[in-house]
Structure 1
Amino acid sequence: MIDTVRNALVLLEDVSVRLHGEVLFQNISFEVKTGEHWAVIGNQEKGRSALLETIAGHLPVVSGNVTYPFLSQFQLNNPVQSPPTSWQKPVSLVSSRHNFSSLSGTETLFYQQRYNASAADDAPTVEEHLANVRPFTDTPVWTIERAVAALDLHPLLSKRLIKLSNGETRRVLLAAALLRNPAILLLENPLVGLDVRSRQYFIQLVSTITESGITVIMTTSPDEIPDAITHVAVWKEGQALRTMPRHAFEGSETATEQEQDKPDVKEIKTLLADHTPPAFEVIVGMEDVSVRYGNKTVLNNINWQVRQGERWALVGHNGAGKSTLLSLINGDNPQAYANKVILFDRRRGSGESIWDIKRHIGFVSPELFQYFPGGQTCEEVVESGFYDSVGLHRERDPLKRERVLRWMKLLQVEELAWKVFRNVSVSNQRLCLLARALVKNPALLILDEPCQGFASAQQRHFRSLIDTICASSNITLIYVSHYQHEIPESVTKVMQMEQGKAFVL
């Protein structure tokens, strides 16, 4: 036991954690020794996230002990930045959500701010954000220059945080975590939202991080474990946390998932029959559309026509311009007025309001997930889809509530109806936002990376649900994904974006 403690960085002994009256995990023991790097996998999603939060010191421990045997020596070695009187532990956590603040420090950033020029100016640039990061060590290994180079952030330094794509945001979050030069780096599903090239680069980057002396503990899927990981913890629902060396995991059974139930086709058809969207000829029409921010051209002469009933895949690397293109369609970006954009047979700027546009659209995106407020119940979040509001701000409607619960059941989250949105797992939050997009039977369904963070069985179930909806209605679909296996079979057309340009394949 003496040697174990001496070599341990983190030691959890019979730890139980409770938050908002809910037990997140109970009687868990977990040890990380010097030289070890861990991947935590399995379908115990809330437990896995809570484990990282507990190691970071963000959650209340109701029983058991969490100790950091290395801490006193670390503080002796770094008396300026991490003196013995400091309450902070040299641990950095990169979670699924960011906590960016405005320059004034008076508010957190909000979703509509991305496309409001005056409001966006209150968001820091990437360079300003990184310049404010304080390291834990007196002699940092990860400097701004090294972090910016390692994560290819030079082109983003002058960009406002609110303007970043999902993949760009994750790179900035990781850079900020590295600039703190922690002893332990905690990563929650770090590969989610990254395109193929970025994922491959990240796997190599993890090796560079571990070689710099930082211990990495990450949650991920069984088939996305970086080479630098030495140990694996498997945590499945209803089972204890099992730990093993990497080689033992690779020689054992992996996280085999049970096939989820197929969607209820009859129920889907009944719900779709309750409300038929109006008929249109052109859902989206763009002619030589360009979007610029200062000297930066984000979209360059886009020509695209989407007719009712067509199903499109929109593909391209992180930062290619996909989110900006979708913001023109969803009514969020005022630069639509300066371009020739037709939505639902009407030219933008011809007298329609933003709500006239949004009432025909069901929409979900990583950015909406990032900024969606968490204080309401999951049921209220889904019902807000009827009104295209970010949260429910009116009295509940009993008839709409019945429809909400039916869609939640189709997405297998009906038991979460009365749970507070922020308190459910990340994948369940995403499923609730998907139900929000579907609940009003929109003419156009825009799904921007809808399967982020889903297990394989969840992905298959959702793809089957979308294919059933498409087979049973004249819905128009725009589906964004970095991965071919995530795209539903009902998709028959593809547009690829690259550096702000678009090519129909």
Structure 2
Amino acid sequence: MQPLFSITHATVRLFNNTVFADLNFTINKGEHWAIVGESGSGKSALLQTIAGNLNAAGGVLHYHFFEDHINQHPDQKGYITHHKLIAMVEPRHHFRNLSNTTEFYYQQRYNSSDSEDALTVSEYLKSVKPLTDSNTYWSFEKITSVLKLESLKEKQLIKLSNGEGKRLRIAAALMKNPVLLLLDSPLTGLDIETRQEFNNIIAEIAASGITIVMATAPNELPDIITHVAVLQNGTVNWQGPKNKFETNFAALPPNTSIDKNEIKALLNLTPAATYDVIVSMKNVTIKYGKNVVLDNINWEVRPGDKWALLGHNGAGKSTLLSLVNGDNPQAYANDIVLFDRKRGSGESIWDIKQKTGFVSPELHQYFPTDSSCLQVIESGYYDTLGLFRPSNPKRAETALRWMKALEIDKYARVLLKNIPASAQRLCLLARALIKNPPLLIFDEPCQGMDTHQVQHFKALVDTICSLSNVTLIYVTHYRHEIPDSVDKVLKLEKGKVV
């Protein structure tokens, strides 16, 4: 076996924490690896270590493929490093606006004048240069065809759906024509159809000679994966060929109990307001230029209703939610009633947000990077993306109680950006619940959670629904993630109700 990359006896640290002690891991030529394990086991950290983004003290990281490359292209010696031959696709996007002054803010995609300050898909991809001139198998034309981006070429980055953004990040990585492609949870946020297409895409990438290493769920291994490594608490527990791997190797702890009395006590801290109608939409249409995103939508949500909102990536779900959540200014040009008041009758966006608890997969990206988890949760009282005032001791205490109820209190003083994706979701859930709003909007809340955490999250939602008359709108691509309390469905296809 010819090694492509190897780590031997390495200690890897992140800030003051040891992530891996005595780490040993080898990728041989012709192998494609899946890294599996429960949330927080170190999957992302292993990819970041391979990419050279984490500090490895002691031990040896050996980039054998780089030596091979320099032997074949001696003219590049001294001009490029091994980093140039690696591309990584992270769960979080790093798109910046055209003026390059700031990252996007959350409501920007719905404000047409502000979204003009974003690159289009075509402009963004063409700004990515191949790592070297020696191999450009993956051209702009080939990438946009394989990743089905042709119809999105002129779309601004900020207006991409979660799944579309994921495809674009993979496309940008391929524009570099790397030797090694690292994918961190590439399947989260993709609808079932796109996941099946992903299997073919990943096969084509592998066939082009690129080695793939991906962090993924144990039950979602693409066909081309040859080897699996199981992580647990920063240790490689098992590694070997895929045909010897069994999903119980990555077994998860049994479900934990939920303290119903504590949840009830927390919900009772703030009496819930009552309304006749939570949401009423009549013939609602939303357009951006010639592009119709929502087409003649009629929908009524009454107090205590529990809705699942379903549809493919790009079907219009996020835009529909932006109307309910007060983020979309086109609401004023439509017949929309929220919490018994017609939009445009004098209520502010803050009046709406005060009555809504919101969780989405992108939301955590918009918090200040110096926010601790406890501060993020306390900010739910003020509906701000960050705590921009001195902490209130009583409210901070309630925030900590919610953290304990959601089993994440160990992260109270840790920065939101430094905790596992699943724990970030639960922080945002606590932020949504802290003021006991009459409406909860959960947009793909289980992204990045392992099986145990999904079960716990669903049980928690069902508990909250059983203890209160809260109204719920729940978005997911997967039927198994829908809580039992949900009994109504609205399905969108290309902006229409089907």
Query: Can you list the C-alpha shifts for 1:24-53, whole angstroms capped at 9, x where unaligned?
Result: 222101110110000000126352111111
Structure 2 residue matching 1:105: 3-state secondary structure: coil
- The Cα shift of 1:290 comes to 0.7
> Which residue of structure 1 lines up, in the alignment, with residue 79 of structure 2?
85
2:140 is the alignment partner of 1:158? no
Aligned-pair identity in percent equals 50
Change in 2 beyond 3 A, CA 1:238/1:132: closer
Structure 2 residue matching 1:70: 3-state secondary structure: helix
Contact 1:311–1:492 (CA under 8 A) maintained in structure 2:
yes
2:154 is the alignment partner of 1:179? no
- The Cα shift of 1:238 comes to 6.6
Change in 2 beyond 3 A, CA 1:351/1:60: same
Structure 2 residue corresponding to 1:236, chosen from 216, 232, 236: 232
> Which residue of structure 2 lines up, in the alignment, with residue 482 of structure 1?
477
Give the counterpart letter for 2:15 in structure 1: H
Q: Equivalent residues in 2 for 1:409-420 (5 A)?
A: 409-420=404-415
Contact 2:305–2:471 (CA under 8 A) maintained in structure 1:
yes
Query: Can you list the C-alpha shifts for 1:384-442, whole angstroms capped at 9, x where unaligned?
Result: 11111011101101111111111111111011101111111111111111111111111
Contact 2:360–2:445 (CA under 8 A) maintained in structure 1:
yes
Change in 2 beyond 3 A, CA 1:56/1:45: same
- The Cα shift of 1:58 comes to 1.3
Contact 2:4–2:63 (CA under 8 A) maintained in structure 1:
yes
> Which residue of structure 2 lines up, in the alignment, with residue 256 of structure 1?
251
Structure 2 residue matching 1:282: 3-state secondary structure: coil
2:471 is the alignment partner of 1:465? no
Structure 2 residue matching 1:45: 3-state secondary structure: coil
- The Cα shift of 1:63 comes to 2.1
> 2-side partners of 1:78 and 1:501: how far apart?
54
Give the counterpart letter for 1:454 in structure 2: M
> 2-side partners of 1:268 and 1:200: how far apart?
39
Q: Equivalent residues in 2 for 1:22-421 (5 A)?
A: 22-43=17-38, 45=40, 47-77=42-72, 84-87=78-81, 88-138=83-133, 139-237=135-233, 239-250=235-246, 253-421=248-416
Change in 2 beyond 3 A, CA 1:238/1:172: closer
Give the counterpart letter for 1:174 in structure 2: I
- The Cα shift of 1:56 comes to 1.0
> 2-side partners of 1:75 and 1:109: how far apart?
39
Contact 1:496–1:502 (CA under 8 A) maintained in structure 2:
yes
Query: Can you list the C-alpha shifts for 1:167-226, whole angstroms capped at 9, x where unaligned?
Result: 111000001111111000000011100000001110121111111100000001110000
Contact 1:78–1:136 (CA under 8 A) maintained in structure 2:
no
- The Cα shift of 1:239 comes to 4.4
- The Cα shift of 1:98 comes to 1.1
> 2-side partners of 1:46 and 1:293: how far apart?
42
Contact 1:312–1:491 (CA under 8 A) maintained in structure 2:
yes
Change in 2 beyond 3 A, CA 1:242/1:44: farther
> 1-side partners of 2:124 and 2:89: how far apart?
15
Which stretch shifts more, 111-120 or 52-61?
A: 111-120
Structure 1 residue matching 2:30: 3-state secondary structure: coil
Give the counterpart letter for 1:397 in structure 2: N
> 2-side partners of 1:92 and 1:324: how far apart?
32
Contact 2:42–2:234 (CA under 8 A) maintained in structure 1:
no
Structure 2 residue matching 1:28: 3-state secondary structure: strand
Segments of 5+ residues of structure 1 without an aligned counterpart are none
> 2-side partners of 1:463 and 1:410: how far apart?
14
> 1-side partners of 2:364 and 2:208: how far apart?
33
Which stretch shifts more, 387-396 or 54-63?
A: 54-63
Which stretch shifts more, 8-17 or 305-314?
A: 8-17
- The Cα shift of 1:302 comes to 0.5
Give the counterpart letter for 1:333 in structure 2: N
In the alignment of these two chains, the number of paired residues is: 496
> 1-side partners of 2:10 and 2:118: how far apart?
39
> 1-side partners of 2:399 and 2:48: how far apart?
32
Contact 1:314–1:495 (CA under 8 A) maintained in structure 2:
yes
Contact 1:71–1:89 (CA under 8 A) maintained in structure 2:
no
Query: Can you list the C-alpha shifts for 1:423-473, whole angstroms capped at 9, x where unaligned?
Result: 111111111111111111111000000001111111111101110111111
Contact 2:41–2:234 (CA under 8 A) maintained in structure 1:
no
> 2-side partners of 1:421 and 1:114: how far apart?
23
TM-score (norm 2): 0.97
- The Cα shift of 1:78 comes to 5.1
Which stretch shifts more, 82-91 or 156-165?
A: 82-91
